[in-house]
């Protein structure tokens, strides 16, 4: 085998290991919280040796922030790909509002929440989380505008898009300890009508 042929599978394995670690970090954070999600615990969950995990992510801060960023980007890309072939309007707005609502009611949100709350009483962690939050927030806003086909130059539209994300975050929080799916669905259906009126 040529050197190149050997290198490629190694790179694939390395990428696969990295992605297993990122997915396991989300699981651990959501289930065990920040305190319980050490690199060793995450490595074990991922079926990866501790040494290999630390090769990819020297500290828990590195691992966990990378996991939140990676999974959020995956989810946002999924939102874009999943958009039905609908013109901007009521049905499309409903689809986007529902998809965002479900995204914030997911394990990803619980994991991110653990990270935010840990960062609120840990200044070193906060330094990593604040810029991550800003990037993720901007990206979520941009993708939502694009998905809705919203024209932010019109008065009130920017605030209505922001309110959609803030509302989804609030509903995600209401879902943390109990299953709030039925109430969430009613609130989001009503919001989709309001938002559609604001957009058009």
List residues binding a copy of itself (CB under 8 A). 31-33, 35-36, 110, 113-114, 116-121, 126, 129-130, 133, 137, 156, 159-160, 162-163, 165-174, 176-178, 183, 186-187, 189-191, 193-194, 198
47 in Cβ contact with 23 (< 8 Å) = no
* Nearest distance in Å: CB 59, a copy of itself: 19
How far CA 85 is from CA of 73, 81, 121, 152, in Å, comes to 22, 10, 45, 22
Distance CA 126, CA 119 (A): 4
The nearer residue to a copy of itself, 62 or 180, going by C-beta atoms, is 180
Q: Reduced to 3 states, what is the DSSP secondary structure of residue 178?
A: coil
* Nearest distance in Å: CB 80, a copy of itself: 22
The nearer residue to a copy of itself, 95 or 191, going by C-beta atoms, is 191
The nearer residue to a copy of itself, 58 or 170, going by C-beta atoms, is 170
Distance CA 66, CA 124 (A): 16
* Nearest distance in Å: CB 100, a copy of itself: 11
* Nearest distance in Å: CB 51, a copy of itself: 27
The nearer residue to a copy of itself, 10 or 35, going by C-beta atoms, is 35
Structure tokens given for 105? 């009611």
CA dihedral sign of residues 127, 132, 137, 142: positive
The nearer residue to a copy of itself, 49 or 162, going by C-beta atoms, is 162
* Nearest distance in Å: CB 83, a copy of itself: 23
How far CA 98 is from CA of 13, 102, 131, 156, 176, in Å, comes to 36, 6, 27, 21, 18
């Amino acid at each position: 085998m040529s050197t190149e042929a050997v290198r490629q599978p190694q790179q694939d394995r390395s990428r696969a290991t990295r992605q297993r670690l990122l997915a396991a970090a989300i699981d651990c954070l959501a289930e065990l919280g920040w305190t319980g999600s050490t690199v060793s615990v995450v490595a074990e969950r991922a079926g990866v040796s501790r040494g290999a995990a630390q090769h990819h992510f020297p500290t828990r801060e590195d691992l966990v922030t990378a996991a939140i960023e990676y999974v959020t980007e995956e989810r946002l890309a999924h939102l874009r790909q999943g958009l039905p072939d609908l013109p901007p309007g009521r049905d499309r707005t409903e689809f986007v509002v529902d998809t965002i609502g479900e995204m914030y009611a997911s394990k990803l949100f619980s994991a991110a929440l653990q990270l935010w709350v840990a960062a609120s009483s840990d200044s070193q962690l906060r330094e990593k989380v604040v810029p991550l939050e800003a990037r993720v927030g901007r990206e979520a806003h941009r993708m939502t505008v694009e998905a809705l086909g919203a024209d932010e130059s019109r008065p009130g539209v920017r605030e209505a898009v922001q309110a959609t994300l803030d509302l989804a975050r609030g509903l995600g929080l209401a879902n943390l300890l109990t299953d709030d799916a039925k109430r969430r669905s009613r609130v989001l259906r009503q919001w989709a009508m309001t938002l559609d009126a604001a957009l058009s």
